[in-house]
Amino acid sequence: GVFERVFKGQTETLVACRSVDCRSRAAEDTWGLSIDVAGCDSVAVALGRYFGTQALEGEDQYETAEHGKQDADIKVRLTAAPPVLQLHLKRFTFDSKASRSVKLTHQVSVPPIVDPSAFGGCPGKYALYAAIVHA
């Protein structure tokens, strides 16, 4: 349908264990990206973190079928860019001391142009079309 033609893209998640020969690759259809903005002053910084390599260590180790839990690195790539890219800015974080979600109220700048290829994704530039702010 129309929604699929306009908003559907694809991401690929790559996981590589550090100490054993174990790799995982999974493709997934996406209708938008949920971007964590905690500690970020701009969407560009948040996208850099989203598409950057992240460590899976300690309590967050990667569970393998053959080797159990392992330290690993995980990376997400945008492999098929949709015509319209929706970004959902996650404005809540979990406060472990208070055991509850806390709304993030800091300002986050939004660039007029977003280029996923700057983060290792497929080429294409997106111009800001609309922003919805929940007060």
The whole model's pTM is what? 0.85
pLDDT tens-place string over residues 22-34: 999 999 999 999 9
Would 63 be classed as within a structural domain?
yes
Would 134 be classed as within a structural domain?
no
pLDDT tens-place string over residues 45-96: 999 999 999 999 999 999 999 999 999 999 999 999 899 999 999 999 888 8
Q: Find the domain containing 21 and state its range.
A: 2-127
Would 133 be classed as within a structural domain?
no
Which residues does residue 100 pair with via DSSP β-bridges, in sequence order?
Answer: 95
Would 132 be classed as within a structural domain?
no
Beta strands of the chain (E only): which ranges?
A: 9-17, 23-30, 33-36, 54-56, 62-64, 68-70, 72-80, 87-90, 92-95, 100-103, 113-114, 126-127
CATH of the domain at 61: 3.90.70.10
Domain count within the chain: 1
Would 135 be classed as within a structural domain?
no
The residue among 7, 17, 108 whose CA lies nearest residue 65 is 17
